[in-house]
Amino acid sequence: MKKNMDFRNFTIPFEINPEYKKRVAYFSMEFAVDQPLKIYSGGLGFLAGSHMRSAYTLKQDLVGIGILWKYGYYDQARNQNQTLNVAWTEKSYNFLQDTGIKFQIDIHSAPVWVKVWYLAPETFGTAPIFLLSTDIPENDYISQTITHRLYDANQATKVAQYILLGKGGAKLLDEMNLGRDIYHLNEAHGLPAAFYLLQKYKDLNEVKKKLVFTTHTPEEAGNEKHDFHLCYNMSYFSGISEEEVRRVSGTDGEVFNHSLCALRMAHIANGVSKLHGEVSREMWGKYSGICDIKSITNAQDYNFWADEKLYAAKDNADAAGFDERKKIMKYRGFKIVSDQTGNIFNPDVFTMVWARRFAGYKRADLLLEDQERFRRLMENEKYPIQIIWAGKPYPLDYPAISTFNRLVEESKKYKNMAVLTGYEIYLSKSLKRMSDVWLNNPRVPREASGTSGMTAAMNGSVNFSTDDGWVPEFAKPGQNSFVVPKADYNNMSTYDQDMYDLNKLYDLLENEILPTYYDRPDEWRTLTQQGMEDVRYAFASDRMADEYYREMYN
């Protein structure tokens, strides 16, 4: 780490590849770059983390702009009866460098001090990342709390967080004399950057030239909306008049739609899978003045996630070595299971994992909707099975917490079922390594991408999924994955869709997956290895980071 670096005249600390010389700032609420830096909640952060690592690998002229969350997202603990307990613990990091930069921005018509920390590329192998904090003595307590909790439940605090990311991030670039050609918003949280630029240049066309937008939300209701006057009064729009904001954003009512405004102020946008691109174009197409929406499919960093020894055995056609390596990965992972739950799992037994953010549409407990069939599955002596669940519900999403707790209660009935806490990068990696199958059963078409299946495949876990997100681009059912055949979901009630998917999941599991695993191990190995090969380049983030330059930035 360079001491006494002059951050007010910052230059990228490595030689830029001429293919990627367009200067980019990437704004994201969360970055999952490595386990120790706990400033992420889920998929959006995992995606941003892989993007930052690939930007460094490819030597792109790109910097990340984020927020240093004092308590992170939250720490997932347990109550006395093993149900979910939400804990907030103060975090500190000796590997972040104090830039010495402090400046003020207006939030709620009052000046708030912003302090800036730097994550150097050599720490975790990422593009340079700058993290903003308001948790300093110069601010009053309310202003300090802006950077306490990622996705704070209080609406005003949440809007203040967006202002800090967007306006604060854009002002930081000016403070550092770090000119950028492109301002890339990873979701609409950083949109206040666009109004900062509009105030600076007084020309919407200048803003449009610089702004690109990635949307991750495949249904309109899931996109962030706030009261227009709340945003206005909180200085979201950098002092631009209400009339001008309404004209630029196309807002005529009382509700400000962040994503819709981003689509009107950017020169180009993208969905995060081919299917999501189609869904987004259809969803937003009825509105005037929106930019083109392309699709750049999400990806994950192969170098960070993939198990090298498993790939080496595959590439050397060493079947025995491949099977042995997978068994070792399972054995090691099961130590976490026994430590947390007291259940000792068997590496010779087929193991299925469901692990991701707990949200209603992801249907964590779908298999439990047929209690009798679930019991038969768990008690099957011919084809034994072990199932593990993990994931973090949003701390105030009580239905999702209830689902988590329901699974915990169910796990007390079965010695071959476990529910784990602490779903962060290390546990995620371990679960992919210890699983034979990665279960993913969102309601189609609610999943924008679903990148956990990519990193599962990189660790010899077979994707078992509904046909949503990235899966249609990857899956060759029966050859590299198992996929629920799509139905005409548009003409089904939610209940009918759930029952259809439930029955198809059980049919595939009972009639195809388990018999293949136990009765035809060579076929299973071939299927696993085909998935590993198919994910290796097409769904690696080097491809994605390159594509952003070619399709969006240039």
> pLDDT tens across 285-325, in order?
999 999 999 999 999 999 999 999 999 999 999 999 999 99
Task: State the pLDDT at residue 220.
Answer: 82
Burial (CB < 10 A; 0-12, 13-18, 19+), residue 5, is middle
Task: State the pLDDT at residue 3.
Answer: 57
**What one-character-per-residue DSSP string does 516-534 give?**
HHHH-HHHHHHHHHHHHHH
**25-300 and 302-542 have identical folds:** yes
pLDDT digits over 120-169, tens only?
999 999 999 999 999 999 999 999 999 999 999 999 999 999 999 999 99
The arithmetic mean of pLDDT across residues 258-277, rounded, is 97
pLDDT digits over 358-369, tens only?
999 999 999 999
Task: State the pLDDT at residue 433.
Answer: 98
Task: State the pLDDT at residue 102.
Answer: 98
pTM value > 0.95: yes
Task: State the pLDDT at residue 219.
Answer: 82
Backbone angles phi, psi at 381, to 5 degrees: -85, -30
Backbone angles phi, psi at 327, to 5 degrees: -65, -40
Return the number of other C-beta atoms located less than 10 Å from residue 402's C-beta. Answer: 15
- Position 467 pLDDT exceeds 60: yes
Mean of all residue pLDDT scores within the chain: 97
The arithmetic mean of pLDDT across residues 71-84, rounded, is 96
Task: State the pLDDT at residue 288.
Answer: 96
* Nearest alpha-carbon partner for 400 in 369, 357, 441: 357
Return the number of other C-beta atoms located less than 10 Å from residue 59's C-beta. Answer: 18
Rounded Cα gap, residues 295 and 275, in angstroms: 8
The arithmetic mean of pLDDT across residues 259-270, rounded, is 98
Q: Are 103 and 117 in contact (CB under 8 A)?
A: no
pLDDT digits over 378-425, tens only?
999 999 999 999 999 999 999 999 999 999 999 999 999 999 999 999
The arithmetic mean of pLDDT across residues 328-332, rounded, is 98
Written as one letter, the residue type at 344 is I
Rounded Cα gap, residues 475 and 544, in angstroms: 19
pLDDT digits over 222-251, tens only?
889 999 999 999 999 999 999 999 999 999
Task: State the pLDDT at residue 217.
Answer: 87
- Position 343 pLDDT exceeds 80: yes
Domain extent listing, the chain: 25-300, 302-542
**What are the E-state strand segments in 74-136?**
75-78, 84-87, 97-107, 110-119, 129-133
Third-level CATH fold of 302-542? Rossmann fold (3.40.50)
- Position 4 pLDDT exceeds 80: no
Backbone angles phi, psi at 211, to 5 degrees: -100, 125
pLDDT band at 1 (very low <50, low <70, confident <90, very high): very low
pLDDT digits over 490-546, tens only?
999 999 999 999 999 999 999 999 999 999 999 999 999 999 999 999 999 999 999
Third-level CATH fold of 25-300? Rossmann fold (3.40.50)
